[in-house]
A and B are shown apart, each in its own frame.
Chain A
Amino acid sequence: MTDPLVIFDLLLALAIVALAIAALSVRDLYAMIVLFVIFGLLSALAWVRLSAPDVALAEAAIGTGVTGALLLKTLHHLRFASGQRSACMTPAIPVPTGVMLANAAFCGLITLGLAVAFLGAPAAGPGFDALVAGAMPASGVDHPVTGVLLNFRAYDTLMEVVVLLAAVVAVWQIERGLSDAPSPEMGEVWQGFARLALPAIVVVGTYLLWVGAEAPGGAFQGGAVLAAVGLLLLLTRAYVPQPHHRGIARGAFVLGTGVFALVALLVAGGGRVAFEYPLDHAKTLILLIEGMVTISIAVTLAALFHGREPVALRKEVRHDT
């Protein structure tokens, strides 16, 4: 008998594809972002159906929540900077329709090829299942995804945090000066809402971090939820970054990377190599790393949203000629 959920799966899959097309073809950029956010949340639902709640959490919080906020912020800036709505949207050199059609046909062919290759690949083929199952007792945590992220493939995860660090350094170097897009006045309702919502978000973020050792959750999801606190603070102007906060911000950005790398180096010795945590302390070390990484992720994501290094206005130097 067919699973009654198949209808749900099919509908969801159709909706996801339709949303992807809609997001790329809708004229209004604001609508594009709204459609994208819905697309992301539906993808997260699809991943839940594929028994990947960790991925669904990360996608919902980071891939969709933070990315959507970043896109909105940029759109807000574009419309403010250009003064009117449509001026900034016209491309410098319009691409000829013929070229676009050729491109689209080319992509269609590629997609077909990929689909054929996918259908030919073994379903539920070989994987790491047995290896992970065998190594889990020595990992120091009970949740396999956390074990992979922070122990088996901790090197990848360290480098992922490095990517985040590189991003915030690059963003600070690209954008300079104070924000020129004025923030709108917030009504009392928003202030009240923020006051109510913030503690709840902090609790949930911390909970996700803590629960990561044995259930879906962990540093990235917790960090992203905590970043939402930063977003709210920045949006409601409850916190305005000041130039003299830069040192602390820098410290928070590098905290996760630094502690992670230091732990990885320091455990080496006595026959162990880097990243090889001693079994007795594995859980403690992993929690330490996760905690620091969570702080870094939360602050970094919020800083990426804010976008610019807080510099005093007089220091603004233009290098362009």
Chain B
Amino acid sequence: MAIYTHHLPAWKREEVEQIKDLADKYALVGLVDVYGIPARQFQQIRRNLRSNAVVKVARNTLVEHSMNELGGHFVDLNGKVSEHSALIFANGNPFKLFKSLEQTKTKRSAKAGEITPEDIVVPAGPTTFKPGPIVGELQQAGIPAAIDGGKVKIKETKTVVKAGEAINKKQADVLSKLGIKPMPVGLSLLAVCYEGDLYLPDVLSVDDEAYKAKITLAAQQAFNLAVNAAVPTACVGVTEAQIAKAVREARNLGVEASIYEKGVIELIISKAYRQANALKAI
């Protein structure tokens, strides 16, 4: 590699140096997929990211070259370079970067042959289409349609294309006419090199809902422990729950052992009545 470096023309040399400088300046170096982003939107995304991240489009050969010169784990990024990848530089938490990139994504219409990342569902109901060839087009795309009150109506909610499947030409045309935009547009992180580790999207994609559920579970566990172990806790609800538990235990014992005391006698009567009723029902 070193030999090849000497043969780089000045402008390429300069670009490699620029990339290496950015890699020095930022804690995080990653690759993003910029496929299908219209130029104007790309500029917009860059502007929005400016404070947090820098996106640099460079020839793949120069990217690879730079990573090789940087050495270490940066070399691992080369395996992720693709036809539509660009470099991204940022500081801080790679998980947060992933999340912020996901959040800035928008949707666009699908082109024939593209693979949808999610189920494409067309809901039942009226459309704005006037009767015409559109009915046939819808039906050919697998969407049951009919004329209703002078308009085209979709008869039932239908999953037209499943996640991971390719969208065919007929489907793409019809979906576009229906205004359905299944394709996400935005920067997709392909890989990140951060503090000497390589992070891939499957790791970087954290499920907020799962964490939320875990917090709820942890809080429930803490509550259960506090109540069950009768840990004195000056916390709203815990002491009340401890009292309630003790009362229930006393009541359960009273009913089970037929201890005739105020506070349980009604429950014992109730139990006897229910037993009699059950026997009567036979």
Task: Tell whether A and B belong to one assembly.
Answer: no
